[in-house]
A = this chain, B = another copy of it.
Amino acid sequence: MIKIGIVGGTGYGAVELLRILTQHPHVDEINIYSNSKAGDKISDSYPHLDAIANIEMKTLSVAEAKTNDVLFFATPPGVSHQWIPKLYGTGVKLIDLSGDFRLLDREVYASWYKQATTEKEWLEKAVYGLSEVYTEAISEAEIVANPGCYPTATLLGLLPAIEGKIIDPSSIIVDGKTGVSGAGRSVSLNTHYAEMNENFKVYQVGTHKHTPEIERFLSDKAEADVVISFTPHIVPMTRGIMTTSYTQIMTNHTEQEIEDFYRAYYEHQPFVRIRTNGNLPQTKEVYGSNYCDISITVDQRTGRLIIIAVIDNLMKGAAGQAVQNMNIINGWDQTTGLSFIPTYP
């Protein structure tokens, strides 16, 4: 049994971690850290947790942090990079749900995030936590840079085609759609119910900070510099992400062959499901679960391969994958404590 800590107590990432970890069979103690709400119970902010997790939140300190076996940072950009160097080497496994350790280049980080992160030496120590792809490295990591929500869906959808040299890496266009919970719990006019309901929006065309993250790991597997177009949209629903990726096919493979290749690629991965027979995934079909459902379509008229991937942005796109990585680090089955069946309808 292990002891875990969650930094960033009252955000949606933390609350989703709680939904998973309070019932994880190998976790027997949970600490929640929130500087702004230290002393309050998490159930004061979230009445749905009453009788489940009436945990009093604490102030984070290095001494306090070190008492945990695993520490999750469910914090906005700019926080974790201040703590992680101080905790590295103390034996605490550090899983960062923010973007601070996802890029290798401080300049690139600064230009997309409009703020600073830590030194390259620290960035290099982090392993990218795309569980299905970097499993080996994650199992030995002290710092896991847990992937962004859009990159998770996009990369799981594209990497088989990249690694299989099925598509032209220079042709990739990703059209992303997210539910509103991705914007977090901080109130704003953009997420004001009366303005977001019965509305569909596009934002940050070509400038979203997940773009360099996607490009970094596409480039890694393409063994070449990949530049993509990425356009995020926001859907009037709470949870769910779909990415629609447009790519140019470079081979003569049939749709069936490519589908088989994808299925083989993810053969031993319990959380990736490849759709068959033209069946297309919907975000609700993974709601509340850690699944990533993927379909591939060959459009003969245009020579394009169109890849659809869906996830629950708070689960596989954040807290679920973070726990999956905790399982990998500890040598447990990936699905331990994560067998959530999609809530449908």
Contacts from A to B (Cβ < 8 Å): 12, 15, 18-19, 22-23, 46-52, 173, 175, 177, 179-181, 183, 185, 187-189, 191-203, 205-206, 227-229, 231, 233, 235-240, 242, 244, 246, 270, 273, 275, 279-288, 293, 297, 299, 301-302, 304, 306, 308, 310, 339, 341-345
Contacts and interface: CB of A to CB of B under 8 A. Distances in A.
A194 B185 contact: yes
Contact of A205 (B187, B198, B242, B297): B297
B233 A201 contact: no
B343 A19 contact: yes
B50 A198 contact: no
Given A48-B285, A185-B192, A343-B343, 14 more contacts: A19-B344, A175-B244, A179-B200, A187-B188, A193-B193, A194-B345, A197-B236, A197-B238, A198-B239, A199-B237, A205-B306, A229-B306, A233-B242, A235-B235
8 contacts: A173-B304, A187-B188, A191-B194, A193-B197, A195-B284, A206-B301, A231-B246, A288-B343
B193 A15 contact: no
Contacts of A47: 275, 279, 281-282, 285, 293
A16 to B, nearest CB: 9
A345 B231 CA distance: 25
A188 to B, nearest CB: 6
B206 A244 contact: no
Contacts of A270: 51
A195 B180 CA distance: 10
A7 B5 CA distance: 44
A50 B287 CA distance: 14
A262 to B, nearest CB: 14
A275 B173 CA distance: 23
A12 B297 contact: no
A206 B201 CA distance: 23
A200 B302 contact: no
Contacts of A199: 237, 240, 282-284
A231 B53 CA distance: 31
Nearest to A276: B50
A244 B194 CA distance: 23
Contacts of A179: 194, 200
A281 B205 CA distance: 12
Contact of A194 (B180, B202, B228, B273): B180
Q: Which of A199, A279, A302 has the most chain B CB atoms closer than 10 A to its own CB?
A: A199
Nearest to A181: B194
A245 to B, nearest CB: 10
Contact of A244 (B46, B52, B231, B302): B231
Contact of A302 (B48, B196, B229): B229
A40 B287 CA distance: 24
Nearest to A301: B227
A242 B200 CA distance: 8
Contacts of A238: 193-194, 197-198, 345
A345 B181 contact: yes
Contacts of A237: 197-200, 236
A189 B194 contact: no
